[in-house]
Amino acid sequence: MTHHCTSIQDSSSEACVRSASFPQGSEMHHNVSAGIIVSNQSLVLQRVGRERAGRYYCRATNLHGEGVSAPIPITIMCKLPDTPVCSPGQQREYQVAHHETANITCRVDAVPDNVTFTWKFNSSGSLLELGEGRAASWGTTSVLAYTPASPGDYGLLLCTATNSIGTQHMPCVINVTAAKPPDLLEECVIRNQTTHSVFVTCKGIPTELPRTFTMEVRNSEDLQLVTKVSNNTPHFVASDLHPGTAYTLHVAVHSPMGASTPIKLQAFTVKTAEKRMG
């Protein structure tokens, strides 16, 4: 790439300057090994890469002052091993519940920015290409609506972009993992224990998710399931129990995101009063 500068007065001293992140810009100096050749009124850049992109202008000075040319923007369109490349700072992991739809976003840096996207799923080491209709793309962004329908749908999504320069060699890798169900239950207390029943109340954490509360009652000696109580509120009554028996209770809440971690309680039914003679 060659850039020529011409000043109105021959007595001037010229220099080619490239704009940088600081206001004054950075002056280009002759350096053949770095591919920068400054010869009279010309600047030659060899083996250009992305780092050479920016605004260039000529600055001329003489005894009367200094003049600067209009900036010349230089865009480098080159084929590198990672062009297009994944945009930095984007989300690389999504936690998605079973049967929940998540919008998985993939962004790339590419020049030109007219790109097409391909989505693939890494299933047990084999790549499964996802249909084009499942993703919406514009410019350098693609959004895939992804719904895990089975445990095998969790894993790695690979997003690859292609423009007129070529296809990126390293795809953007996004990990989709199963979302942990929220613990929507707390402060479970045994309110009453009789000879044949146990009454338990809990505090449900407010949420807009539909949910069902359950309490499993197991014999503490052999952990055999005795009964299971379901309710729309976190209040439970387990009846028809044996008197004088220890029971282990597991209370949980179920939502579209799965079951919460059970809360464990120990309960004891009251012994039947012994009959007395006399």
Give the mean pLDDT of the chain.
81
Query: Are residue 174 and residue 189 in the same domain, yes or no?
Result: no
State whether 174 and 191 are in the same domain. Answer: no
Q: Answer yes or no: do 107 and 141 share one domain.
A: yes
* CA-based radius of gyration for the chain: 35
Count of CB atoms within 10 A of residue 269's CB?
Answer: 19
164 and 89 housed in the same domain: yes
pLDDT in tens, 6-60: 444 444 444 444 433 333 467 777 888 877 887 767 778 777 766 677 788 787 7
What is the rounded CA–CA span in Å between residue 278 and residue 164?
A: 104
For residue 260, being part of any structural domain is answered with yes
Ranges 7-16, 69-78, 170-179: which has the least confidence: 7-16
> Where a domain ends, among 153, 178, 203?
178
Query: What would the two tokens of residue 57 be?
Result: 């202008």
pLDDT-based confidence at 99, cuts 50/70/90?
Answer: confident
Residue 278 maps to a domain: no
Which of 145, 178, 211 is where one domain is finished?
178
Q: If we measure between CA atoms, which residue out of 205, 233, 116 comes closest to residue 163?
A: 116
| 16 HSE (CA, 13 A, CB side) | 22
CATH classification of the domain holding 96:
2.60.40.10
Question: Do 194 and 219 reside in the same domain of the chain?
Answer: yes
* Boundary (domain end) residue, out of 29, 52, 74: 74
Residues 133 and 214 in one domain: no
Q: Is residue 229 part of a domain?
A: yes
Q: Which of 167, 165, 16, 166 lies closest to 76 in space, CA to CA?
A: 165
Residue 182: the pLDDT is 64
Exposed/middle/buried for 161, CB within 10 Å: 0-12, 13-18, 19+? buried
In a domain, 276, yes or no: no
Confidence at 90, pLDDT banded by 50, 70, 90:
very high
- Mean pLDDT score, 170-180: 89
Residue 115 pLDDT: 92
The answer to whether residues 100 and 165 belong to one domain is yes
The answer to whether residue 144 is domain-embedded is: yes
Same domain (yes/no): 91, 172: yes
Confidence of residue 236 (pLDDT cuts 50, 70, 90): very high
> Is residue 2 in a domain?
no
What's the whole-number mean pLDDT along residues 243-262? 86
- Helix, strand, or coil (residue 32): helix
Whether 170 maps to a domain, the answer reads: yes
Q: How confident is the model at residue 276 (pLDDT cuts 50, 70, 90)?
A: very low
Number of domains in the chain: 3
| Containing structural domain, residue 30 | 11-74
Q: Are residues 139 and 196 in the same domain?
A: no
190 shares its domain with 168:
no
The answer to the question of residue 3 being in a domain is: no
Is 137's pLDDT higher than 90?
Answer: yes
